[in-house]
Structure 1
């Protein structure tokens, strides 16, 4: 089992990550997740990438229960990574900071004729 401090950090990061996937989308968060898990084994990296896709798929019809389940799964994945790479805890802020939402550009064209 993981120690309480490690689980607290992992749980906080997981909740923020799930919210970021919900608001920013899987594509934007995939790069952050890949960067964070860069020291992981290839299997762990694949599991993290798959978790991004799974989370995005679950959140297509978001509910508090769905978000809680996704956050729990991420907390376990992150805690396992922390257990093997303690130095990654200093980088968790980068993972937990939500990506800025994609900007929207609107073009309005007004024409008149008589």
Structure 2
């Protein structure tokens, strides 16, 4: 069995990971899980990848039991991995943090002549949808 500290870390990470899979989806979290389990055996890596899909399937029915089962399964996977690779315990927080959405940028350029208020119009706009703020520029 694993020590109490290890299980506490694994259970906390598992709960947050299950919530991230529920909100961000399996596709976005699959890469994080693969990165975290990079030192695992091929069997452990396959089990983690399968667990992402299993968790997403379990969470299609919003029952507390399904979420609790998913958290317990992830806690065991994470605890086993951390027991074998104690040096990755500092990375467990990154596993649970969802990846920010990719920024979508559209550029629009307006140029024209004709009947405009105040004369000709020249200029453009840039929409940065879903990206980080640029500090008010």
Shorter-chain-normalised TM-score: which range?
Answer: 0.7 to 0.9
**Match of residue 77 from structure 2:** 77
Residues 102 and 21 (structure 1), Cα distance of their counterparts in 2 relative to 1, 3 Å cut: farther
Is the 1:20–1:99 contact (alpha carbons within 8 Å) kept by the matching residues of 2? Answer: no
Q: Which has the higher contact order (CA 8 A, sep 6+)?
A: 1
Mapping for residues 25-104 of structure 1, pairs under 5 Å: 25-100=25-100
Deviation, structure 1 residue 11: 0.2
Aligned length: 106
CA RMSD, 1 decimal: 1.9
1:82-114 deviation line (CA, Å, top 9, x unaligned): 01000110100100213346789x9xxxxxxxx
Q: 1:6-34 CA distances to partner (integer Å, 9 max, x unpaired)?
A: 00000000000000000000000000000
Give the secondary-structure state (helix, strand or coil) at the position aligned to 1:62. coil
Gaps of 5+ in 2: 105-128, 130-137
Q: Deviations 1:8-63 (Å, cap 9, x if unpaired)?
A: 00000000000000000000000000000000000000000000000001111121
Which ranges of structure 1 fall in alignment gaps of 5 or more residues? 107-114
In the alignment, what sits opposite 2:21?
21
Runs ≥4 in structure 1, deviation > 4 angstroms? 101-104
- Over alpha carbons, which structure has the higher Rg? 2
Which structure carries more helix by proportion? 1
Q: TM (normalized to structure 1)?
A: 0.86
